[in-house]
A and B are shown apart, each in its own frame.
Chain A
């Protein structure tokens, strides 16, 4: 497992430059927090890293272990090991949680290699237990008529099942109560180790009480304006983004 490097990135979407001169290095085993006002470009960065159509990289590079991922297809980037937990995951009616995760796992496998369905269901049930998810959940259509909390847990469930090298968690804690936040945190912590790194996008320090990050970065004006440890998050909560010169556009 290698390093993810974002170098001097210039990113635009919908004809607007969102990030300019953005750099970040994430090493194996690390958890980085990205904070910043709404519209600062956190979610856009997450989507761009995942290869989402409509996000244009005008300059700079994103590399994984020295290999550029810019211009690659989203499914290829995913199979390289980058997982994005969506802020608002979309519903796919009629496709069950179990079948969806199974399809994703199979997509990573060599064509024609056997899939052990029994082990898969055992593993799925075990991971659902960690997340305190009801047994019947896996038969429901993915994200279809899910509550906010169910959507978030389902994203984390997929992460646990797919075991990515890198996870970008986009506001995984928004809309979660304390208990659910703790459960999600325990799950994320369970992934931590030398073969996993995460970028956590958040507005709240609550999650960080349970998932202790190695670094906290504040985005403003399209780039990182401050970096530090968890104390930076506490400071943010006290004094606000303005202190860092991180005025989000239009806010």
Chain B
């Protein structure tokens, strides 16, 4: 129990930082010029940002964003850019002590030594540390922050940037376009298989702040990569905003696995657009775990654009008291013989609300497309809430789309059975909860699955105990 306490509260701390760059509170064209000046943006990026801001003002919130807290978000009260430095360090020793200590407490350098091929550690708006194993650089693998990607590799960056998630896709993607900073740029050359995962860690330290990282990953033909991201923040009384955009391009016969363990503190609004395009024979796998945040609205998407492309979304969401996890998946079948699987499991604890929102679309006149969607919800308390909003649009012959959903409650019989073996009630409940998601948790790397199980146990035991 002591260990669980540590692992959850481990993220709830912050340090005082004397930010060299601070765009101030509020979002105006001047804010954007400040960011562009600080980052020394190319003209086309500056224009892109200003255009995005106009889109942001034009667009309304998505019609399903009915949550009052989201509707009442005051974008004029947030700080949009905070940084101490423009360039990340390539050695932890050179990272400022308080920032280094932050990541040490979160276990980032330790995991890097153990099993990672590369790490980007973002602190508020900018990356504080960035390093990749040398042998990967020699193979031509690129793993840098988005600013460096823009400046050093414009020929790849510019070709794909904004092509997967257009600025005007939704209000939050427009917001990201206006003020984006940080995030990863990854390029894996043809045929290169990166065996160990690349990891990004997103840390929010400041209050009244918004983090808007922008990630672009291009996996060239026949290449393979696994990308992991973790996110935490200290808990503040005021709202924190996180609106990232992730774009993935997976070329012919290439593969990516994108794994997220989101454990934001519960004052964070997590409104993220994630989307990948899979070309012929390519594979995209989103593995998404949402434990933290006040409200999460996130539906990792896969556009199966090339023949025989495959997609999979595995989603775990845990909504405790005061939390809303509106998660799911969007899969578009745009070529013959494309297949996809969606497995979503949600757990609602106390008065928490977890909903699955999904879209499966099979374009007209296609053949041999298959989708299998399964979403299961577990309600722990009588006040817990869940909902499912699937949209399926499929035409054409020889396509198979299947959607199954279930809602279960922890039964008194199960709890009594476990208690009869001496197991206290709160622990019995977390055993059922962990059992419910066990098959999905196995898909995460060991270092993460242990941590996730502990976090989920702690959430459960806090609610029940």
Contacts and interface: CB of A to CB of B under 8 A. Distances in A.
Contacts of A90: 411, 413-414, 417
A53 B418 CA distance: 13
A53 B422 contact: no
Given A53-B412, A94-B436, A103 B417 contact: no
A84 interface: yes
Contact of A75 (B411, B424, B431): B424
Contacts of A75: 419-425, 428
Given A92-B417, A103-B427, A162 B435 contact: no
A53 B425 CA distance: 13
Interface string A52-87: 110000000000000000000111011100011010
Given A104-B421, A111-B1, A162-B422, A74 B416 contact: yes
A149 interface: no
B294 to A, nearest CB: 28
B242 to A, nearest CB: 31
A53 B432 CA distance: 19
B431 A95 contact: yes
A104 B424 CA distance: 9
Interface in B399-450: 411-414, 416-425, 427-428, 431-432, 434-439
A89 interface: yes
Contacts of B436: 93-94
Interface in A141-162: 141, 158, 162
A93 B435 contact: yes
A50 interface: yes
Nearest to B413: A90
Interface residues of A, number: 31
A117 B236 CA distance: 41
A212 interface: no
A52 B420 CA distance: 8
A79 B422 contact: yes
A165 to B, nearest CB: 13
Nearest to B438: A94
Nearest to B440: A94
Given A92-B418, A92-B431, A95-B432, A107 B439 contact: no
Interface in B81-116: none
A202 to B, nearest CB: 20
A108 interface: yes
Contacts of B424: 75, 107
Contacts of B439: 94
A83 B423 CA distance: 12
B165 to A, nearest CB: 35
Interface of A is mostly: mixed
A78 B421 contact: yes
Contacts of A99: 431
A103 B431 contact: yes
Contacts of A78: 419-422
Interface in A98-117: 99-101, 103-104, 107-108, 111-112
A94 B437 contact: yes
Contacts of B421: 75, 78, 83, 100-101, 103-104, 107, 158, 162
A228 to B, nearest CB: 30
Nearest to B435: A94
Given A90-B414, A93-B436, A73 B431 contact: no
B423 A103 contact: yes
Nearest to B439: A94
Nearest to A168: B420
Contacts of A86: 417, 420
A108 B435 contact: no
Contacts of B428: 75
A163 B145 CA distance: 58
Nearest to A107: B422
Contacts of B432: 92, 95
B435 A141 contact: yes
B238 to A, nearest CB: 37
A131 to B, nearest CB: 17
A77 B414 CA distance: 17
A151 B318 CA distance: 31
A119 to B, nearest CB: 19
A52 B415 CA distance: 10
Given A104-B423, A162-B422, A92 B435 contact: yes
Contacts of A112: 2
Contacts of B412: 53
A92 B414 contact: yes
Contacts of B425: 73, 75
A23 B423 CA distance: 29
Contacts of B435: 92-95, 141
B372 to A, nearest CB: 19
Contacts of B419: 51, 73-75, 78
Nearest to B425: A75
A50 B422 CA distance: 11
Given A75-B422, A95-B435, A53 B427 contact: no
B37 to A, nearest CB: 53
A158 B417 CA distance: 12
B430 to A, nearest CB: 10
Contacts of A51: 419
Nearest to A81: B422
Contacts of A95: 431-432, 434-435, 438
B75 to A, nearest CB: 42
A107 B422 CA distance: 6
Interface string B1-40: 1100000000000000000000000000000000000000
A53 B417 CA distance: 11
Contact of A107 (B427, B437, B438): B427
Given A75-B428, A77-B420, A95-B434, 4 more contacts: A75-B423, A90-B413, A92-B435, A108-B422
15 contacts: A51-B419, A75-B422, A75-B425, A78-B420, A83-B421, A89-B417, A92-B418, A92-B432, A94-B437, A100-B421, A103-B423, A103-B431, A108-B422, A158-B421, A162-B421
Interface of A: 50-53, 73-75, 77-79, 83-84, 86, 89-90, 92-95, 99-101, 103-104, 107-108, 111-112, 141, 158, 162
Interface of B: 1-2, 411-414, 416-425, 427-428, 431-432, 434-439
**Leading 3 A-B pairs by shortest Cβ distance:** A94-B435, A104-B421, A95-B435
